[in-house]
Each structure stands twice: as structure tokens, then as C-alpha cells.
Structure 1
Amino acid sequence: MGKVGLFDLEKQFAFYGAYHSNPINIFLHMLFVWPILFSSLVLLYFTPPLFNLPHLEFSPFGYNVDLILNIGFFLGLVYASFYIAFDKKAGFLAALLCFFCWVSSSYLAGRLGFSLAWKVALAAQLFCWTGQFIGHGVFEKRAPALLDNLFQAFLMAPFFVLLEALQMLCGYEPYPGFHAKVQAKVEADIKEWKAKISTTTEEAEDIEDDDGGDEMLRRGGRNRERFPRGAEGVRYEEMLEVREADEGDGLAAPPPCPSI
């Protein structure tokens, strides 16, 4: 509470919530966000260790795991640090999940080997990202947040998904009144977005109407050129001029051509 800018949890979570208000879309993100992080760590397991740091041998429950202090480890460390900085309680739980993902992904990658692990990880990435895009396109009907905020899409999404789950399951709040304040900001953001969509649609319709009016004028001009300047032709030109002067009120089709 009281944090500003990048670490303003209330502001950041409200921005995320504005793009994830549909229950089905929320569920799909809860289902797919952490597997995306996990499969990314599987791929990063095969990167070399940073600064030639030694491997760590870890044997939970009798299973030998070769832990490499590489980009995957550094990525998990950055994620965990950010989450704890946002909120100590939920952030600590998220940090534990990051550590679990790093250890378990290292075990899986070591067992599969690179030739198979990258295929499994790529398939998981495609499946999970597709599920999220379906959630936005079909249910949320709003483009995903990654188009507006890459920081949130790739770094904060796992934490926000966890925070949403904690709110739903046990009513957790980082501080009293957090959920109500966030919800008010989410509703205001969605209202503003819908207003912009409505304005854009109306402007597009106005442009179409203007284009239609211009086309009618062009047709009227062509009709005028086809008629000689006899008595009937002069009267027809006068009718067209009246129609052209009335363009601002919506131009109808040119008057029927008089017979000559």
C-alpha cells in the first residue's frame, strides 16, 4: 500500500483486470499462464550456466535433479523478486511456485533430453497461448493486454493469476479495501474502452455515409452530362443543383431523368 509507479499493485492489477473480466477468460488464464512459464523454463534449461557457475545436485524424494544456474534460474529469480516486492504474502507464495517450476522443469528437461524437450515445450506454448487468445477473442471480446503492456503480459501475469485465485478461494486482499478499489478502476476502464469503441464505430458509419453521398453526386454529374441543354435538360440541371445544395441533410438518389 502506498507504492507508486511500477510497483503500484492496485494500478497494475486494475489494468490487468480490465482485460480479464469475463469468468471464462479468467479461468482459461488460470489454467494456462503458469504452464507457459513452466514450459519456458524447460527450454531455458538447455542454456549454458552464467559466469561458469557450477551445477547443483538436488535429490528430492530420491530423484536426482541437475540444477543449472543459467538464464532460466535468473528469470525465475527476477520473477520471484518482483512478486515479493509487490506483496509479501502472496508474493512469497508466488516465489515458491517459481522455485518449484524451476526445479521441476529442470528435472523434466533432464529426463527428456533436448531433442524431445523442445518439442514438448513448443507444443505446450502453442496450446496455452491459443487457449488464451480464444479467451480474449471469443469470451472477453477484447485484445489481450500484451498488445498494450508487454511487461504485464510476460512478467506479472503469473502473479496476477495467483492473486485472482487467492481472492476467489479465500477472499485474500493485500490490504483492506484493495479488491473494491481495484474493481472500481476496472469498471471505469472498461466503460472508457466501450465508449471509445462506440465513438470509433459512429465515426466509421459517418465516413461511409459521406462516401455514399459523394458517389450520388458523381452519379448526378454523369447524368447531367448525358442530357442536352434543352428545356428539359435545364430543368433537370436545376433539380440536381437543389439536391447538391441539400447535401448536408443527406443526399438522396438523383432525380429520374426526364424524357426528351
Structure 2
Amino acid sequence: MAVSDLFNLKKQLVQYGSYHNNKANVAIHMIFVPTILWTVMVFFAKSGQVLAVPASAKWLKAVGPNAAFLATATITSYYAILDPIAAALYSPVLYGMLYTATQFQRTNPNANKIALAIHAISWIFQFLGHGVAEKRKPRLMDNFMQAMVSAPYFVWFELLFSLGYRPKLYKTVMSEVEQNVAAFRAEEAAKKSKSS
């Protein structure tokens, strides 16, 4: 994937959607991608404060600012490049998750153990969704970092699209996704017929 494609919303949605076209798998992702993101924020919040906070910005102390804050600010900026309106709508959700993850890390001595258990269970469901429902390996097998960064935004777009956001984009994306999935299925069928 070209670097310019990393900043092309349609291409990102088509790439991700091509691996998430089954309704059951999408539903699993709608639940467990945010759960995985939250647990990662809990792990990153363990860093403690990584930036000095001026007296005029004491509100920042509620979120460290820790490594989870820096990661959230980075992905929010990336999301804003892809679609500023969707990112603006998603930001309160992300920063709410950041706040709760940070507070959980600060107040629970077993935060990492609990988050790790939730994280592992969430991944199990994700893999079951791909293996049983989607019948296709997860995208992260092809591009781990890009899948990890784009997964939360893809899930957010699933919600936005279901509410009628950018219907032309949705139609274009789904058309290309269906073509990609059909090509994948045809390729898989050809492999099976060659091996028999």
C-alpha cells in the first residue's frame, strides 16, 4: 500500500471492509474493537505522566498526560486527516475511553491483569468472528499496525454509516468491498479445485 493510500479514507474503508463483510463478524468487531482499544489504553496509562503540565492546563492531569494520551492524540490526528467531521464526532468517545482507562489504571492495583484478561477474551472473539463467520483471516495478518490503527475508525464508520452518514461514500465503499470479497472467494475456490 502506497503512503498516499494511508491518507485516503475510501481506500482505507475498502481495505478494512474487504476483511469485514459478514454481519456477524462486523457485530463482533463493533463490541470488541473498542474493548481492545480501551485495554490498550489501560496498558499505556501505566506509563504515568510523560509530559509536564502547565498550571493553566491542570485538566490534562486527569489523562496523565500519559502514553495513552499521546497515542490517542496521534490516532485522533490521523483520523482527522481522513475525515475531520467523523473524527470530531469520535473524539469525545476516544477521550472518554482514555479518561476511564487512565482512572482505572490509577485506582485499581490489578488493572493490568484485569485488562489483559479482557484483552485476551476480546481477541478470541475477534478470531472466532473471522474464522467462523467471515471465513477469512483477519487483516492484521497482512498489515498489523495499519489494522490496529484503522480498526477503531472502521467500527466508528460502521456506526456512522448505519445512521446515514455520507451515503455516497458508503455506496462506493460497499461496491468495491463486494468486488474484493467476490474476487477473494473466487481465488479460494480456484485453490481448492487445484488441490483436489
- Fold match, TM over 0.5? yes
Map 1:55-204 onto structure 2 (within 5 A). Answer: 58=59, 66-113=62-109, 116-168=110-162, 170-173=163-166, 177-204=168-195
- Per the TM alignment, residue 47 of structure 1 is displaced from its structure 2 partner at its CA by 1.0
Which residue pairs with 2:30 in the alignment?
Answer: 30
Displacement of 1:93: 1.6
Q: Kindly state the Cα deviation for residue 178 of structure 1 after the two structures are TM-superposed.
A: 0.8
Offset, 1:112? 0.4
Structure 2 spans left out of the alignment, 5+ residues: none
Tell me the residue number matched to 1:16: 16
Distance in 2, Cα, partners of 1:166 & 1:54 = 35
Task: Give how far 1:146 is off.
Answer: 0.4
State the AA in 2 paired with 1:166: L
Answer whether contact 1:42 1:105 (CA < 8 A) is retained. yes
Give the whole-Å Cα distance in 2 for the aligned partners of 1:178 and 1:152. 21
CA distance in 2, matches of 1:129, 1:135: 10
> CA contact under 8 A between 1:66 and 1:110: conserved in structure 2?
no
State the one-letter code of the partner of 1:129: W
Q: CA deviation at 1:54?
A: 4.2
Q: Return the alpha-carbon distance in structure 2 between the equivalents of residues 95 and 145 of structure 1.
A: 24
What does residue 229 of structure 1 align with?
Answer: none
TM-score by length of structure 2 reads 0.90
Q: Supply the distance in 2 between the matched residues of 1:185 and 1:191 (Cα, whole angstroms).
A: 10
Partner of 1:227: none
Task: Give the Cα–Cα distance (whole angstroms) in 2 for the partners of residues 37 and 13 of structure 1.
Answer: 18
After TM superposition, give the deviation of residue 96 of structure 1 in Å. 2.1
Structure 1 position 95, deviation (Å) = 2.1
**AA at the equivalent of 2:182:** K
Give the fraction of aligned pairs with identical amino acids, expressed as a percent.
31
- Between Structure 1 and Structure 2, the one with more helix by share is 2
2: CA distance, partners of 1:66 / 1:184 = 43
Shift of 1:43: 1.4
Q: CA 1:180–1:66 in 2, change beyond 3 Å: closer, same or farther?
A: closer
CA contact (8 A) 1:47 1:70 kept: yes
- Equivalent in the alignment of 1:49: 49
Matched positions, count: 191
